[in-house]
Amino acid sequence: MKATVALVGRPNVGKSTLFNRLTRSRDALVADLPGLTRDRHYGIGRVGEKPYLVVDTGGFEPVVDEGILFEMAKQTLQAVDEADAIVFLVDGRNGLTPQDKIIANRLRQTSRPVFLAVNKAEGMNRAIVAAEFYELGLGDPLVISAAHGDGVRDLMDMVLEPFPEAVDEENVKHPKFAVIGRPNVGKSTLVNAVLGEERVIAFDEAGTTRDSIYIDFERENKPYTIIDTAGVRRRGKVNEAIEKFSVIKTIKAIEDANVAVLVLDAQLDISEQDATIAGFALEAGRALVIAVNKWDNLDTERKDNIKREIARKLGFLEFAKFHYISALQGKGVGDLFKSIDEAYSAAMAKLATPKLTRVLEVALERQQPPRAGLIRPKMRYAHQGGMNPPIIVIHGNALGNVPDSYTRYLEHTFRKAFKLQGTPLRVQYKSTENPFADKAASANPKVRAGAKAMPRHSLRGREPREKTRFGKAKTGKK
């Protein structure tokens, strides 16, 4: 499972800027105003060699005891408890403040490792900037600039050093699937129906499950791991700090699974939050199976309406299998396993390079990539670059401008050719340099010596020119 790194510090020290830098996104609002971030943000870290989740917290004002700042402080402390490592951010331009000392005292009481980062140090002497922060007693301060990226990679390498490398998906021996969805759609009821016992609490109240529960079991002599996750509410509906960080546990469960089973409530309209939760799974590259629950006792008109709504709002999940079930009655639950097994096999499929290249050639014969200016991208061969999800790497020339529409065409072609039902598929491009550039340079001795060769046409029909004492050129003709 991925490590969780929480960014902590007083207001306006650059936590959101660092969050955006680590996630390579613009998800967190950034402005020169204290207290802009009130709710927490979470994202997948993309700076560093190891996988991790990063949490941006609101400004920590530990001395207040009421109001919005107090609520923000409670969330920050909850983030500290949930995190595996903490980055304590301070402002190098403003120097050490009394609030920094109070926060440091709070952080020393936790068992989590704390890393001190001195931000906003661009253009300054690093040794001088870091000197006064040794007083906090949190080890050697690491001077960074979140806005410019200076020192950020070194910081994350230090933070992530104790954590294990990414799990090799080839060593996963059995399907591990997470049951995800909005609160009160019947996730725990589905888990109990799968297991055949009341293993988790199922209650008609949103938010009953607040932690992710991992359960190993066997079905027809085949091992599985099922993960019951907390419901993910719409941001405006999330009030309690405990429930807020249930979202992080859900995302971590998705990352840890091979397949995500998205549960929808047929008695409710398909909402934007359903699409958001599906987006979490797609961003993680996890295979998907859709279970439309509470299908019993619906009339024909309602069933037709919900199918049309799914097609309209969840059209981007066309690769996934849909099942219409009743978890409470146990109807259709057994059919889920066939789709889970198919999605798992597709996600972990090994694709041979010769077959991938042949499929690419067929796709190019049917439709060439569009020109980018005067140049048409040229694709030469393809090979597999990873699993869960399958990654196909295409090599060629001038591939930097291939449009998204053509990439989707290739994804559809590969999925159909290899029957990759239930899993997203990613196509990546790798352009090669001109192999004749160096040969052309080495063949010309003047170019090899660093001299600039004169074009051949400039020597035709001309005689050597010589300048006179008055600066005029003469050709040597009488």
Annotated binding residues for GTP, as ranges? 9-16, 56-60, 119-122, 181-188, 228-232, 293-296
- Per DSSP, the three-state class of 267 is coil
Instruction: Give the CB-side neighbour count of residue 271, counting CA atoms within 13 A.
Output: 15
- What residue ranges in 147-265 does DSSP mark as E strands? 176-181, 213-219, 222-228, 259-265
What are the residues facing 157 on neighbouring strands?
Answer: none
Distance of CA 428 to the CA centre of its chain: 15
Q: Encode 400-435: b = buried (16+ Cβ within 10 Å), e = exposed.
A: eebeeebbebbbebbbebbebbbbbbebebeeeeee
Tokens read off for 90: 């301070």
The CA distance from 296 to 273, in Å, is 23
What are the residues facing 149 on neighbouring strands?
Answer: none
The CA distance from 475 to 478, in Å, is 9
- Per DSSP, the three-state class of 195 is helix
Instruction: Say if CB 191 and CB 148 are below 8 A apart.
Output: no
The CA distance from 440 to 396, in Å, is 20
The CA distance from 64 to 77, in Å, is 13
What are the residues facing 324 on neighbouring strands?
Answer: 292
Q: Dmax of the chain from CA atoms?
A: 112
Q: Which residues are annotated as a binding site?
A: 9-16, 56-60, 119-122, 181-188, 228-232, 293-296
